[in-house]
Amino acid sequence: MTARPPQDAAAAPTALTAFLRGVERRGAVFAHLLSGSQASGDAALADTMEAFRAEAGRTAFGDWPRRFWSQLLATPALRQPPATPAWEPEFGWLAHLGHGPRAALLLRLVAGLAESDAAAVLGIARGTYRLGLQRALPHNADGSADLAAWQALGAAAQGMLRGLPPDRLAHLAHVREEAIAAPAAGARPRVEAEAPPGHRYRAALWVIALLTLLAFAATFWPGFADSGFVGGDGPEGILVEPLPAAAAPAARYPDDAALALHPDLGLLLDAGAAGPEAIDPAFHAWYAAQRAAAAEGPTSAPGVAPGAAGSAPAHPVDPDQHSETDDASL
């Protein structure tokens, strides 16, 4: 990576600066032990920090750890190990492992990731990661787990993390500051490159509006009448064309079908068969009620004394019987 003078770290987002400061030591040790070379590990860490700085704004804060470790594993410096890797004596077990099992083991020992996060970083299922981690652990000659060697490997990893010399820590801080400052130089050209499309869109809108206005104004020009839209005999010179005459209906019902199509045909047929009561059912219902009341005997209306003024007669009037008084009055 090309060296650049570090800029003021206060200009970078506070959360990003704190995250990279907290992960830089583990990242350096992880890359060193994975590749077997401190130089290759530092180059991978520098590239990862610069790439992560450019994508941090588009990544949710909770996904930062997974994104960082995934980018670190994907750097070319770690995907292509050095020609002559070398490990300290306390990490001799790592030399017997392949790149994948070694990464699974270091994600647990150095990065301190949980099984689910480590599996997500490697892009494998959680059960697959657990199986790979078990195969990467130190074993005895009989195939059983060597707990003493596992504890010694973990202690050595923690000792390397805590025992980084001051000059090494200063170098990592310089790498972090360079990574944070790197996108600042390229941020402005990217914004300038994104600005012209907006200007082009606004220019296109202005062109469309101008063409619409010109088309509207053209309707008032004399030459526009030659186009056929105006110049007719209608009002305002509008061309008017009468509609064609309505065509005769394709068919009509014959006159002798009027009775069959009558909406009350059923009622008309039933009225003739049932008798005159079907023609005026309300009158005949009243008449039947009066006949029934006359057969039951004299009654008085509830709450009215017999013979009181304004009271109804004791016996209902039979429409078939008329008194002589009624005839005289007629």
pLDDT per residue over 286-311, tens digit each? 888 888 888 886 654 444 444 444 44
Residue 238 is classified by DSSP as B
Q: Give the pLDDT confidence score for residue 170 in this predicted structure.
A: 92
CB atoms within 10 A of CB 304: 12
Nearest to 117 by CA among 70, 162, 149, 82: 70
Single-letter amino acid code for the residue at 250 = A
β-sheet bridge partners, residue 238: 230
Q: Which range is least confidently modeled, 120-124, 215-219, 299-303? A: 299-303
Residue 80 is classified by DSSP as S
């600005």: which residue's tokens? Answer: 195
φ, ψ of residue 139 in degrees (nearest 5): -130, 155
Could you report the per-residue pLDDT of 95-121, keeping only the tens digit for each?
A: 888 888 888 889 988 988 888 898 998
Single-letter amino acid code for the residue at 319 = P
Q: What is the mean pLDDT of residues 239-251?
A: 82
DSSP character string of 109-151:
HTS---HHHHHHHHTS-HHHHHHHHHHHS-B-TTS-B-HHHHH
Could you report the per-residue pLDDT of 6-56, keeping only the tens digit for each?
A: 444 444 578 888 899 999 999 999 999 998 888 888 899 999 999 898 888
β-sheet bridge partners, residue 7: none
Distance from the Cα of residue 173 to its chain's centroid: 42
Domains in the chain with CATH codes: 11-186 (1.20.140.160)
